[in-house]
Amino acid sequence: MNREEAFEVQLARWLEEGPYEAPSEPVVAALAHVRAHPGRPRTFGSLWRHAMSGIGLTHVPSQPHRGWLAAAAVIAVAAIVIVGGYGLFNLGGQAGPAAGPTPTPTAPAPSPTATAGADMATGTQSCATTTEGVTTTVNEVVQSRGEVLECTNTSSDPRLAGAATIGYNWDEHPDGLWLGWGTAELQNEGGTWSGRYAVTSTSTAGAMEFDSLWGGSDGYEGLEVLNHVRITSRYTTIRSWVLEVGPALTGTERCTTTTSGREFSVGDVTAYRGVRVTCTDRMDDPRVSGTTKLEFSIDMRADESADMWGGITLTNELGSWEGFFFGTVDAGYTTHHAQSLLRGTGEYEGLLYRLEMVSPDGVNAELSGEIIAAGGAPEQAG
Amino acid sequence: MERELVEQAQRGDQEAFAALVELAADRLYSIAYRILRDPARADDALQNALIAMWQRLPELRDPDRFEAWTYRMIVRASYREAEQARGLQVRARRLGILSPREQAGPLDRIASRDELDRAFRELTPEHRAVIVLRHFVGLPIAAIAETLEIPVGTAASRLHYAARHLRAAFEAEAHGVVAWRHPA
């Protein structure tokens, strides 16, 4: 046998290694999707949702369908952060105090970036629903609220392994847009990681990928973990970087409600949809100063406490930051709290911006946050 | 038999389509796995390819070409999955450093297999696809070109380049050459 023949034999043998049988999950998910969308052409719903409608999702034996959704969100456990829809307070369209000029970023400033050099940990997550959410359909949007999942996280970093509890809410819109958000807490012998998470998906693909951020306590003080989560119909994998919390950025925000949105009632909840707010953010780092636009939803309960959630974009001359925020309003429609994790574009490509907002009146807010270099560690070689 | 199922599925018969999926899924998954070398992404590629097949089946003019057409669909889906993976890796690598490759082990079949795996992962999805279609599926160059909707010369060129790259890795291993490993 000459060298060429030896090579081809070796190549053929190598290619023969590996599976010859398709797993059932993607086949079932695809056929379920076809059943749900028999027409052609069809609009994709969220494909990943149909992936759940099948079977054999081992981590959610009781309710594979919703459990998988939850698992997706959970994974996110992350504590997303940010800003908020102050507009909530000003549904009548009032503006806050006149906003001053937006600070102009002169250059990507050398300000705080947490991460560089952190080692990457890899892990998995599997979840089961312990409390079913309440599902309703409002204006053709399917909403689920109050689901709770118990999860087991594994990780190559023992600080990130343990039992996680996830609160999970989601909306699915008729056009396939899906929003999920909630709270998460992971505990182990060394301490606790907790935070809020939010994830959006319009993907028709079988996988969702997103970033999330958790804060440490009870032993992990001063640390946070950035997670990149990938969820498919079979696996949830998490790549994580444990970081020291970076120097805090601080600033203020003033907002004007530009659109009050649609108002309607569902039971004792007053709902607002399509609320739009424009804000001016003045932070001590010019990279995250600029004009912020939010479009979001509000559910206000009888005691005038509320949940709010939606999209957020912060723009200045050098680039923009985009993300999803989740917030609450205390009873009596008083203090607002919101968090978000935004991804940079333009000059800010490769950076994440964690933002938290607290507003006593819904008009003026105090902001804090940090900028994180996304992906603080090298990809592991083959 | 398969032609009848294809024609029925083209008219919207979901049961016929399910039967076609039953016939094709293992073959398509095998191809996706070998292009992507990642079971989770191969899952996604298969799922997306099957849905795309349902959507686009009416466009298939010759039902007898169904099998070749399914190869095209799974290769395209694999390309998309590979692109997603590449974006993630580039981002995660931005702040990273490269690690020296571990010293090669003794010349044995396992070492050669590992070297092939490393070299294969360095190829683009387009080059991986021609290798898989040629050396795993067994298609001739002309059929590969038709499947991928590229000129025959392009298919031959890709195959030549990919085979040369893999052969170099194979021979470097055989001669104990130690290289520096690129991130996956």
Report pLDDT digits (tens) over B40-59: 889 889 988 998 899 889 88
Q: What is the DSSP string of A236-249?
A: EEEEEEEEEPPPPE
- B106 and B148 share a domain? yes
**CA B134 to chain centroid:** 11
Higher pLDDT among residues A2 and A248, named by residue: A248
Residue A82 confidence (pLDDT) above 80? no
| pLDDT tens-digit map of B153-165 | 999 999 999 999 8
Domain interval for residue B160:
90-181
- B37 and B68 share a domain? yes
Which pLDDT does position A186 carry in this prediction?
Answer: 95
- B153 and B168 share a domain? yes
Find residues 129-168 of chain B whose CB sits inside 8 Å of chain A. 131-132, 135-136, 163, 166-167
Higher pLDDT among residues A63 and A356, named by residue: A356
Whether A274 maps to a domain, the answer reads yes
Find residues 7-46 of chain B whose CB sits inside 8 Å of chain A. 12, 14, 17-18, 21, 25-26, 28-30, 33-34, 39-41, 43-44, 46
**The CATH number of the domain where B27 resides is what?**
1.10.1740.10
B78 and A CB contact within 8 Å:
no
Which pLDDT does position A40 carry in this prediction?
Answer: 56
Chain B nearest CA to A343, separation (Å): 12
B87 to each of A42, A200, A285, B17, B183, how far by Cα in Å? 28, 19, 28, 33, 13
| Cβ pair A25:B136 closer than 8 A | no
- B68 and B123 share a domain? no
Residue A370 confidence (pLDDT) above 80? yes
Please list every residue in chain B whose beta carbon sits closer than 8 Å to the beta carbon of residue A381: 98-99, 101, 181-184
Cβ neighbours of residue A109 closer than 8 Å, sequence gap 6 or more: A285, A286, A287
- B129 and B151 share a domain? yes
B117 and A CB contact within 8 Å:
yes
- B108 and B163 share a domain? yes
Query: What confidence tier does A360 reach under pLDDT thresholds 50, 70, 90?
Result: confident
How many Cα atoms are found within 13 Å in the side-chain-facing hemisphere of A57?
Answer: 35
Please list every residue in chain A whose beta carbon sits closer than 8 Å to the beta carbon of residue B102: none
Q: How many CB pairs under 8 A join A and B?
A: 176
- B108 and B66 share a domain? no
* ipTM of model: 0.81
Structural domains in chain B (count): 2
Q: Which residues pair with A318 in a beta bridge?
A: none
pTM of the complete model: 0.50
Of B84, B107, B132, the one marking the end of a domain is B84
Q: Return the percentage of chain A with pLDDT > 90, whole number.
A: 18
Cβ neighbours of residue B24 closer than 8 Å, sequence gap 6 or more: B67, B70
**The CATH number of the domain where B116 resides is what?**
1.10.10.10
Chain B nearest CA to A306, separation (Å): 36
Residue A45 confidence (pLDDT) above 80? no
Closest partner CB to A381 (pick from B50, B99, B131)? B99
| pLDDT tens-digit map of B125-143 | 999 999 999 999 999 999 9
| Cβ pair B47:A233 closer than 8 A | yes
- B78 and B98 share a domain? no
Whether A343 maps to a domain, the answer reads yes
Helix (H) or strand (E) holding A7: helix A3-16
Whether A335 maps to a domain, the answer reads yes
Whether A304 maps to a domain, the answer reads yes
Whether A330 maps to a domain, the answer reads yes
- B107 and B174 share a domain? yes
Domain interval for residue A351:
84-112+247-381
| Cβ pair A378:B97 closer than 8 A | yes
- B120 and B168 share a domain? yes
Please list every residue in chain A whose beta carbon sits closer than 8 Å to the beta carbon of residue B48: 30, 47, 204-206
- B29 and B78 share a domain? yes
| Cβ pair A21:B80 closer than 8 A | no
Structural domains in chain A (count): 1
Q: Which two tokens stand for residue B90?
A: 């580039």
Phi and psi at A15, nearest 5°, equal -70, -30
Residue-averaged pLDDT of chain B: 78
Chain A nearest CA to B164, separation (Å): 10
> Which of A51-55, A203-207, B28-32, B176-180 has the least mean pLDDT?
A51-55
**The CATH number of the domain where A302 resides is what?**
2.40.350.10
Whether A185 maps to a domain, the answer reads no
Whether A3 maps to a domain, the answer reads no
Whether A294 maps to a domain, the answer reads yes
Interatomic CA distance for residues A298 and A277, integer angstroms? 13
Of B45, B69, B84, the one marking the end of a domain is B84
Query: What confidence tier does A207 reach under pLDDT thresholds 50, 70, 90?
Result: low
- B111 and B155 share a domain? yes
Nearest chain B Cα to A207, which residue? B44
Closest partner CB to B34 (pick from A18, A206, A233)? A18
| Cβ pair A237:B92 closer than 8 A | no
